[in-house]
Amino acid sequence: MLEDKHKKAFNKIKTANNILLVTHYRPDGDALASLCVMSDVLDSLGKKFTAFCQDPAPSQFNFLPNVEKIISDRSKLNFSSFDLIITLDCGDLSRTALVDEIPARKSDQTVIEFDHHPKVDDYADLKIKTVKTSSTSELLYDFCKINKIKISKNIATCVLTGVLTDTGNLMYDNTSDKTIKIASDMLLYGAHLPTILDNTWRNKSVGGMKLWGIAMRRLSVNKKYNIASTVLTRKDFVDTKASDEDMEGVPGFLSNLSDVDSLLVLRELDNSQLKGSLRSMNDNVDISKLARKLGGGGHAKASAFMLDAKLVKTGDEYRVE
């Protein structure tokens, strides 16, 4: 049972000497918030720990308490010194960026996984996973409640941030009655909603908005599959002076389309890769099947994939090459 697993995880934490917290590369709000929640819990227990994420936190999340503790420099990680490794929001091993270290761990090194992605990648000793939970942050709220850990103002801020960013401000259908109840509770525990929204949603730059404009202008619909798609090239980012962070929220916003079943947003990253973000607006379309075919993964309604490719313009159209 999940409750027993939460208790077991807490016991492991209490007896551990040196803990590694890991969240996924290219971290989003839920990834960072869950890392920060767990940092707060470990701090209050007086535990020695390191919080690691392969990529640095986008500056919009600087308001999250504990985010300054996260390190991205791998050379500072002495993996063999940890007796407990806790992964947060990493549906599969590759997302931890510790693909060599975790499978090769010693027998006295335990891995606990907290996650809400459907993918079952068997890399942890103790898996606390449920796809019915809006976010890993919501899962950590359960962890705190079950183990009678005091919800500090800092924890409340992080949990609410993770919940809001993973549910599109409670608008996606991973939002349950419980999710809304937790969000409301977090306000009672001291989370400040305007601060969270100012940093995560009302944070668009002029360049960023122009980039959103390009994404909207290029929308086209494939009638056969009733899928809308759009593309953003590196040049668009340069022309609008927008950053990758400005791109956050575009797929979610475009998924407000009502007359198509699904959506694809393809954009060039700065490392000669393409990232495809997929959304399904139809309960009968599990878009993660397409994501998995293309080497990616995610949820039925929101998933993503990466390609080693670029966008080439021919006339008014863009081709993946």
For Mn ion, the closer CB: 211 or 291: 291
Q: Is 115 in the site for Mn ion (CB under 5 A)?
A: no
Q: Is 30 in the site for Mn ion (CB under 5 A)?
A: yes
Q: Is 101 in the site for Mn ion (CB under 5 A)?
A: no
Among 40, 89, 138, 142, binds Mn ion (CB under 5 A): 89
Residue 166 C-beta: closest distance to Mn ion, Å = 5
Query: Segment contacting Mn ion (CB under 5 A): 9-17, 89-97, 147-155, 236-244?
Result: 89-97
HSE-up of residue 52 (Cα within 13 Å, Cβ side): 23
Residue 78 C-beta: closest distance to Mn ion, Å = 28
Tokens of 321: 């090459």
- Which of 307, 286, 285 has the alpha carbon at shortest distance from 296? 307
Q: Is 166 in the site for Mn ion (CB under 5 A)?
A: yes
Residue 144 C-beta: closest distance to Mn ion, Å = 17
From the number of C-beta atoms within 10 Å of its C-beta (0-12, 13-18, 19+), residue 134 rates as: buried
CA distance 111 to 101: 11
Residue 25 C-beta: closest distance to Mn ion, Å = 13
| 126 CB-near residues (< 8 Å, 6+ apart) | 5, 8, 9, 12, 110, 111, 112, 113
For Mn ion, the closer CB: 164 or 263: 164
Residue 231 C-beta: closest distance to Mn ion, Å = 25
For Mn ion, the closer CB: 45 or 180: 180
CA distance 87 to 52: 10
- Which of 233, 279, 224 has the alpha carbon at shortest distance from 254? 279
- Contact footprint for Mn ion (CB under 5 A): 30, 89, 135-136, 166
